[in-house]
Amino acid sequence: MLIARLKAGGPTLAKQGILVAFILFMIVFSFMSDRFMTTGNVMSVFRQATIVGVMALGVTIVVIGGNLDLSVGSMLSFATVLVVDLHDKIGPELAVPVMVLATLCLGAVNGFLIGILRLNSLIVTLGMLSVIQGLVLIYSGGQNVDIANQSETWFRVFGRGAVMGIATPIILFVGLALFFHILMTTTAFGRRVHAVGGNPVASVFSGIPRSRIVFLTYLISALCVAVAAMILGSRVMGSQNNVGQGYELQVLAAVILGGTSLLGGSGSILRTVLGVLMLAFIQNGLILMGQPYYTQWLVTWAVIIIAVWLDVAAKRGRLLSPIA
Protein backbone atom coordinates (compact mmCIF):
# COMPACT_ATOMS: atom_id res chain seq x y z
CA MET A 1 0.00 0.00 0.00
CA LEU A 2 2.71 2.40 1.02
CA ILE A 3 4.78 1.45 -2.01
CA ALA A 4 1.79 1.90 -4.28
CA ARG A 5 1.20 5.34 -2.83
CA LEU A 6 4.81 6.29 -3.22
CA LYS A 7 4.71 5.14 -6.83
CA ALA A 8 1.53 7.04 -7.50
CA GLY A 9 3.08 10.07 -5.84
CA GLY A 10 6.28 9.68 -7.87
CA PRO A 11 5.43 12.03 -10.70
CA THR A 12 4.10 14.58 -8.20
CA LEU A 13 7.35 14.45 -6.27
CA ALA A 14 9.28 14.88 -9.50
CA LYS A 15 7.10 17.87 -10.34
CA GLN A 16 8.22 19.45 -7.09
CA GLY A 17 11.84 18.73 -8.09
CA ILE A 18 12.46 22.40 -8.75
CA LEU A 19 11.23 23.28 -5.29
CA VAL A 20 13.49 20.65 -3.74
CA ALA A 21 16.46 21.86 -5.80
CA PHE A 22 15.71 25.46 -4.81
CA ILE A 23 15.71 24.61 -1.11
CA LEU A 24 18.92 22.60 -1.51
CA PHE A 25 20.65 25.51 -3.21
CA MET A 26 19.52 27.89 -0.49
CA ILE A 27 20.89 25.58 2.22
CA VAL A 28 24.22 25.04 0.46
CA PHE A 29 24.71 28.74 -0.20
CA SER A 30 23.80 29.73 3.34
CA PHE A 31 26.60 27.46 4.60
CA MET A 32 29.08 28.77 2.03
CA SER A 33 28.50 32.45 2.78
CA ASP A 34 27.25 34.02 5.99
CA ARG A 35 25.99 37.07 4.12
CA PHE A 36 23.72 34.97 1.86
CA MET A 37 20.84 34.39 4.25
CA THR A 38 20.66 37.93 5.65
CA THR A 39 17.38 39.81 5.22
CA GLY A 40 19.25 42.56 3.40
CA ASN A 41 20.74 40.20 0.83
CA VAL A 42 17.56 38.21 0.29
CA MET A 43 15.47 41.35 -0.23
CA SER A 44 18.01 42.83 -2.57
CA VAL A 45 18.20 39.66 -4.69
CA PHE A 46 14.42 39.55 -4.76
CA ARG A 47 14.28 43.17 -5.88
CA GLN A 48 16.82 42.63 -8.62
CA ALA A 49 14.96 39.54 -9.81
CA THR A 50 11.77 41.49 -10.42
CA ILE A 51 12.72 42.72 -13.91
CA VAL A 52 13.43 39.24 -15.28
CA GLY A 53 10.54 38.06 -13.15
CA VAL A 54 7.84 40.36 -14.48
CA MET A 55 8.85 39.62 -18.06
CA ALA A 56 8.93 35.88 -17.36
CA LEU A 57 5.27 36.03 -16.30
CA GLY A 58 4.23 37.26 -19.74
CA VAL A 59 6.51 34.87 -21.58
CA THR A 60 5.13 31.96 -19.54
CA ILE A 61 1.67 32.76 -20.91
CA VAL A 62 3.01 33.02 -24.47
CA VAL A 63 4.76 29.64 -24.08
CA ILE A 64 1.69 27.94 -22.59
CA GLY A 65 -0.12 29.20 -25.70
CA GLY A 66 2.33 27.23 -27.79
CA ASN A 67 4.69 29.99 -28.93
CA LEU A 68 7.96 31.68 -28.00
CA ASP A 69 8.87 35.29 -27.36
CA LEU A 70 12.54 36.13 -27.83
CA SER A 71 11.88 39.81 -28.48
CA VAL A 72 11.33 40.78 -24.84
CA GLY A 73 14.98 41.77 -24.30
CA SER A 74 15.16 44.39 -27.01
CA MET A 75 11.58 45.39 -26.25
CA LEU A 76 12.81 46.17 -22.73
CA SER A 77 15.58 48.35 -24.18
CA PHE A 78 12.99 50.13 -26.31
CA ALA A 79 10.55 50.74 -23.47
CA THR A 80 13.18 51.85 -20.97
CA VAL A 81 14.90 54.25 -23.36
CA LEU A 82 11.51 55.65 -24.36
CA VAL A 83 10.17 56.24 -20.86
CA VAL A 84 13.43 57.73 -19.59
CA ASP A 85 13.84 59.98 -22.61
CA LEU A 86 10.23 61.20 -22.55
CA HIS A 87 10.32 61.72 -18.80
CA ASP A 88 12.08 65.07 -19.08
CA LYS A 89 10.48 66.00 -22.42
CA ILE A 90 6.77 65.53 -21.67
CA GLY A 91 6.74 64.71 -17.96
CA PRO A 92 6.29 61.36 -16.27
CA GLU A 93 2.47 61.48 -16.23
CA LEU A 94 2.52 61.36 -20.06
CA ALA A 95 5.76 59.46 -20.55
CA VAL A 96 4.50 56.36 -18.76
CA PRO A 97 1.24 55.90 -20.75
CA VAL A 98 2.97 56.72 -24.05
CA MET A 99 5.64 54.12 -23.32
CA VAL A 100 3.03 51.52 -22.34
CA LEU A 101 1.06 52.14 -25.53
CA ALA A 102 4.14 52.03 -27.75
CA THR A 103 5.26 48.77 -26.17
CA LEU A 104 1.80 47.28 -26.60
CA CYS A 105 2.03 48.23 -30.29
CA LEU A 106 5.20 46.14 -30.59
CA GLY A 107 3.39 43.28 -28.87
CA ALA A 108 0.54 43.73 -31.32
CA VAL A 109 2.97 43.39 -34.24
CA ASN A 110 4.20 40.09 -32.78
CA GLY A 111 0.62 39.05 -32.15
CA PHE A 112 -0.46 39.96 -35.66
CA LEU A 113 2.38 38.11 -37.37
CA ILE A 114 2.16 35.02 -35.18
CA GLY A 115 -1.51 34.92 -34.19
CA ILE A 116 -3.28 36.22 -37.28
CA LEU A 117 -0.81 35.38 -40.07
CA ARG A 118 0.28 32.18 -38.27
CA LEU A 119 3.99 32.70 -38.85
CA ASN A 120 6.51 30.74 -36.84
CA SER A 121 7.03 32.46 -33.50
CA LEU A 122 10.72 31.62 -33.26
CA ILE A 123 11.43 33.33 -36.58
CA VAL A 124 9.17 36.31 -35.95
CA THR A 125 10.38 37.15 -32.46
CA LEU A 126 14.02 36.51 -33.34
CA GLY A 127 13.50 38.98 -36.18
CA MET A 128 11.72 41.42 -33.88
CA LEU A 129 14.65 41.19 -31.47
CA SER A 130 16.85 42.79 -34.15
CA VAL A 131 14.19 45.10 -35.56
CA ILE A 132 13.37 46.61 -32.17
CA GLN A 133 17.04 47.01 -31.26
CA GLY A 134 17.36 48.90 -34.55
CA LEU A 135 14.36 51.07 -33.68
CA VAL A 136 15.94 51.98 -30.34
CA LEU A 137 19.17 53.10 -32.00
CA ILE A 138 17.28 55.13 -34.61
CA TYR A 139 15.19 56.75 -31.89
CA SER A 140 18.09 57.60 -29.61
CA GLY A 141 20.64 58.27 -32.32
CA GLY A 142 23.01 56.08 -30.34
CA GLN A 143 22.95 58.39 -27.30
CA ASN A 144 22.28 57.01 -23.87
CA VAL A 145 19.52 58.83 -22.02
CA ASP A 146 18.95 59.85 -18.42
CA ILE A 147 16.61 61.75 -16.15
CA ALA A 148 17.93 65.12 -14.99
CA ASN A 149 16.11 65.66 -11.72
CA GLN A 150 16.29 62.23 -10.14
CA SER A 151 15.28 62.92 -6.56
CA GLU A 152 12.20 65.07 -7.21
CA THR A 153 10.17 62.97 -9.66
CA TRP A 154 7.38 60.63 -8.52
CA PHE A 155 8.58 58.29 -11.24
CA ARG A 156 11.19 57.07 -8.73
CA VAL A 157 8.50 55.13 -6.91
CA PHE A 158 8.52 52.17 -9.38
CA GLY A 159 12.16 51.24 -8.90
CA ARG A 160 13.21 52.89 -5.68
CA GLY A 161 10.04 53.29 -3.64
CA ALA A 162 8.65 51.10 -0.92
CA VAL A 163 5.28 50.54 0.71
CA MET A 164 5.28 49.53 4.36
CA GLY A 165 8.94 48.59 4.12
CA ILE A 166 8.50 46.40 1.03
CA ALA A 167 10.13 47.60 -2.17
CA THR A 168 7.64 48.61 -4.88
CA PRO A 169 9.19 46.30 -7.54
CA ILE A 170 8.56 43.34 -5.26
CA ILE A 171 4.97 44.40 -4.73
CA LEU A 172 4.49 44.84 -8.49
CA PHE A 173 6.06 41.45 -9.26
CA VAL A 174 4.15 39.54 -6.60
CA GLY A 175 0.91 41.34 -7.43
CA LEU A 176 1.23 40.63 -11.16
CA ALA A 177 2.23 37.03 -10.48
CA LEU A 178 -0.89 36.47 -8.39
CA PHE A 179 -3.04 38.22 -10.95
CA PHE A 180 -1.72 36.14 -13.86
CA HIS A 181 -1.85 32.98 -11.79
CA ILE A 182 -5.54 33.55 -11.17
CA LEU A 183 -6.05 34.53 -14.82
CA MET A 184 -4.45 31.33 -16.06
CA THR A 185 -6.02 28.92 -13.59
CA THR A 186 -9.53 30.19 -13.04
CA THR A 187 -10.72 32.12 -16.08
CA ALA A 188 -12.02 31.07 -19.47
CA PHE A 189 -9.16 32.97 -21.10
CA GLY A 190 -6.60 30.89 -19.19
CA ARG A 191 -8.35 27.68 -20.15
CA ARG A 192 -8.41 28.70 -23.79
CA VAL A 193 -4.69 29.57 -23.79
CA HIS A 194 -3.97 26.09 -22.44
CA ALA A 195 -6.20 24.53 -25.10
CA VAL A 196 -4.65 26.48 -27.97
CA GLY A 197 -1.16 25.57 -26.80
CA GLY A 198 -2.12 21.95 -26.15
CA ASN A 199 -3.81 21.28 -29.47
CA PRO A 200 -4.41 24.23 -31.81
CA VAL A 201 -6.41 22.14 -34.29
CA ALA A 202 -8.79 20.73 -31.70
CA SER A 203 -9.18 24.27 -30.32
CA VAL A 204 -10.33 25.58 -33.68
CA PHE A 205 -12.67 22.59 -33.98
CA SER A 206 -14.09 23.63 -30.58
CA GLY A 207 -14.86 27.13 -31.79
CA ILE A 208 -12.03 28.81 -29.91
CA PRO A 209 -10.80 31.99 -31.65
CA ARG A 210 -7.23 30.76 -31.80
CA SER A 211 -5.83 33.81 -33.60
CA ARG A 212 -7.29 36.19 -31.05
CA ILE A 213 -6.03 34.15 -28.11
CA VAL A 214 -2.47 34.02 -29.46
CA PHE A 215 -2.64 37.74 -30.25
CA LEU A 216 -3.66 38.48 -26.67
CA THR A 217 -0.80 36.42 -25.21
CA TYR A 218 1.66 38.69 -27.04
CA LEU A 219 -0.14 41.80 -25.78
CA ILE A 220 0.22 40.44 -22.24
CA SER A 221 3.89 39.75 -22.82
CA ALA A 222 4.39 43.33 -24.06
CA LEU A 223 2.48 44.70 -21.07
CA CYS A 224 4.81 42.83 -18.74
CA VAL A 225 7.81 44.30 -20.57
CA ALA A 226 6.32 47.79 -20.07
CA VAL A 227 6.04 47.19 -16.32
CA ALA A 228 9.60 45.85 -16.23
CA ALA A 229 10.74 48.98 -18.08
CA MET A 230 9.08 51.21 -15.46
CA ILE A 231 10.98 49.38 -12.71
CA LEU A 232 14.27 49.43 -14.59
CA GLY A 233 14.02 53.04 -15.82
CA SER A 234 13.01 54.26 -12.41
CA ARG A 235 15.76 52.37 -10.61
CA VAL A 236 18.56 53.47 -12.93
CA MET A 237 17.05 56.87 -13.81
CA GLY A 238 18.73 56.48 -17.15
CA SER A 239 19.17 53.93 -19.86
CA GLN A 240 21.69 52.54 -22.26
CA ASN A 241 20.53 51.66 -25.74
CA ASN A 242 21.03 47.97 -25.23
CA VAL A 243 20.06 47.68 -21.59
CA GLY A 244 17.74 44.73 -22.24
CA GLN A 245 20.22 42.71 -24.27
CA GLY A 246 20.43 39.12 -23.05
CA TYR A 247 17.32 39.40 -20.91
CA GLU A 248 15.36 37.19 -23.33
CA LEU A 249 17.59 34.25 -22.44
CA GLN A 250 17.34 34.83 -18.70
CA VAL A 251 13.59 35.08 -19.03
CA LEU A 252 13.39 31.90 -21.08
CA ALA A 253 15.71 30.18 -18.60
CA ALA A 254 13.38 31.07 -15.73
CA VAL A 255 10.33 29.85 -17.67
CA ILE A 256 11.96 26.53 -18.55
CA LEU A 257 13.28 26.10 -15.02
CA GLY A 258 9.71 26.61 -13.84
CA GLY A 259 8.75 23.54 -15.84
CA THR A 260 6.59 25.20 -18.48
CA SER A 261 6.59 22.94 -21.52
CA LEU A 262 8.06 24.53 -24.64
CA LEU A 263 5.62 22.37 -26.60
CA GLY A 264 2.79 24.44 -25.19
CA GLY A 265 -0.32 23.54 -23.28
CA SER A 266 1.11 23.21 -19.81
CA GLY A 267 2.93 25.43 -17.38
CA SER A 268 2.48 27.44 -14.26
CA ILE A 269 2.94 31.08 -13.32
CA LEU A 270 3.79 30.28 -9.71
CA ARG A 271 6.44 27.80 -10.77
CA THR A 272 7.90 30.39 -13.09
CA VAL A 273 8.24 32.64 -10.01
CA LEU A 274 10.21 29.82 -8.37
CA GLY A 275 12.33 29.55 -11.50
CA VAL A 276 13.02 33.29 -11.42
CA LEU A 277 14.02 33.25 -7.74
CA MET A 278 16.16 30.18 -8.17
CA LEU A 279 18.08 31.77 -11.03
CA ALA A 280 18.55 34.97 -9.07
CA PHE A 281 19.76 33.24 -5.93
CA ILE A 282 22.16 30.98 -7.85
CA GLN A 283 23.69 34.04 -9.48
CA ASN A 284 23.86 35.94 -6.20
CA GLY A 285 25.27 32.93 -4.33
CA LEU A 286 28.04 32.45 -6.87
CA ILE A 287 29.01 36.11 -6.65
CA LEU A 288 29.06 35.98 -2.86
CA MET A 289 31.31 32.93 -3.10
CA GLY A 290 33.74 35.06 -5.07
CA GLN A 291 33.14 33.49 -8.47
CA PRO A 292 33.47 35.72 -11.52
CA TYR A 293 30.10 36.79 -12.93
CA TYR A 294 30.38 34.66 -16.07
CA THR A 295 30.38 31.40 -14.09
CA GLN A 296 26.75 32.07 -13.38
CA TRP A 297 25.86 31.27 -17.00
CA LEU A 298 27.68 27.99 -16.84
CA VAL A 299 25.96 26.98 -13.64
CA THR A 300 22.55 28.35 -14.65
CA TRP A 301 22.31 26.41 -17.87
CA ALA A 302 23.82 23.28 -16.33
CA VAL A 303 21.03 23.46 -13.74
CA ILE A 304 18.42 23.99 -16.46
CA ILE A 305 19.61 21.11 -18.58
CA ILE A 306 19.66 18.79 -15.57
CA ALA A 307 16.19 20.01 -14.59
CA VAL A 308 14.83 19.32 -18.08
CA TRP A 309 16.43 15.89 -18.10
CA LEU A 310 14.96 14.95 -14.72
CA ASP A 311 11.58 16.25 -15.85
CA VAL A 312 11.63 14.14 -19.02
CA ALA A 313 12.95 11.16 -17.07
CA ALA A 314 10.13 11.46 -14.54
CA LYS A 315 7.60 11.49 -17.37
CA ARG A 316 8.92 8.35 -19.02
CA GLY A 317 9.76 6.62 -15.73
CA ARG A 318 13.43 6.01 -16.44
CA LEU A 319 16.58 8.04 -16.93
CA LEU A 320 17.54 6.76 -20.35
CA SER A 321 15.14 5.51 -22.94
CA PRO A 322 15.49 4.47 -26.57
CA ILE A 323 11.99 5.65 -27.34
CA ALA A 324 10.10 8.87 -26.62
Partner 1 sequence: MTMPHTPALQLQGIVKTFPGVRALDGVDFDVRPGEVHALLGENGAGKSTLMKVLAGMYQPNEGRILIGGKTVAIRNPIEAKAQGVVLIHQELSLVPEMSAAENIYLGELPRKSLGRVDWKTLFAKSNAILERLKCRFRAEVTVANLSIANQQMVEIARALTVDARVVVFDEPTASLTDAEKVVLFDIITDLKAQGVGIVYISHRMDEIFTLSDRITVLRDGQYRGTLDTAATNEDEVTRLMIGRSLDLTRHEAPPEFGKTMLEVRNLSCAPLFRDISFSVRAGEVVGFYGLVGAGRTEIAETLFGLRSPSAGEILVDGQPVQITNPRAAIALGISLVPENRKEQGLVLHMNCRDNMTLPQVQDLTSGPFISNGAEIAIFDQYRDRLAIKTPSWKQSASVLSGGNQQKIVIGKWLSMQPRVLIVDEPTRGIDVGSKSEIHTLLRELAAQGYAVIVISSEMPEVLRVSDRIVAMYNGRIMREFDISEVTEDNLVQAISGIKAEEVA
- Which positions lie near partner 1, rule CB under 8 A? 7-8, 11, 182, 186-188, 191-192, 194-195, 198-199, 201-209, 265-266, 321-323
Q: Which is nearer to partner 1, 144 or 199 (CB)?
A: 199
The 3-state DSSP class for residue 316 equals: helix
User: Measured from the CB of residue 190, what is the shortest distance to partner 1 in angstroms?
Assistant: 8
Looking at the Cβ atoms of 264 and 275, the one nearer to partner 1 is 264
| Angle CA 213–218–221, to nearest 5 | 125
Alpha-carbon torsion, ordered 230, 231, 236, 237, to 10 deg: 30
Output the smallest distance, CB 187 to partner 1, in A.
6
CB of 52 to partner 1, least distance (A): 28
At its nearest, how many Å lie between partner 1 and the CB of residue 309?
Answer: 19
CB-nearer residue toward partner 1: 205 or 294? 205
Distant-in-sequence, close-in-space partners of 274: CB < 8 Å, separation ≥ 6: 18, 19, 22, 257, 258
89 or 318: CB nearest partner 1:
318
Closest approach, Cβ 64 to partner 1, in A, equals 12
- Which spans in the chain are helix H? 2-15, 17-32, 39-64, 72-90, 92-111, 121-140, 157-160, 168-186, 188-198, 200-205, 210-236, 247-257, 269-288, 295-316
Which CB atom, from 207 or from 290, has the smaller least distance to partner 1?
207
Distance of CA 184 to the CA centre of its chain: 15
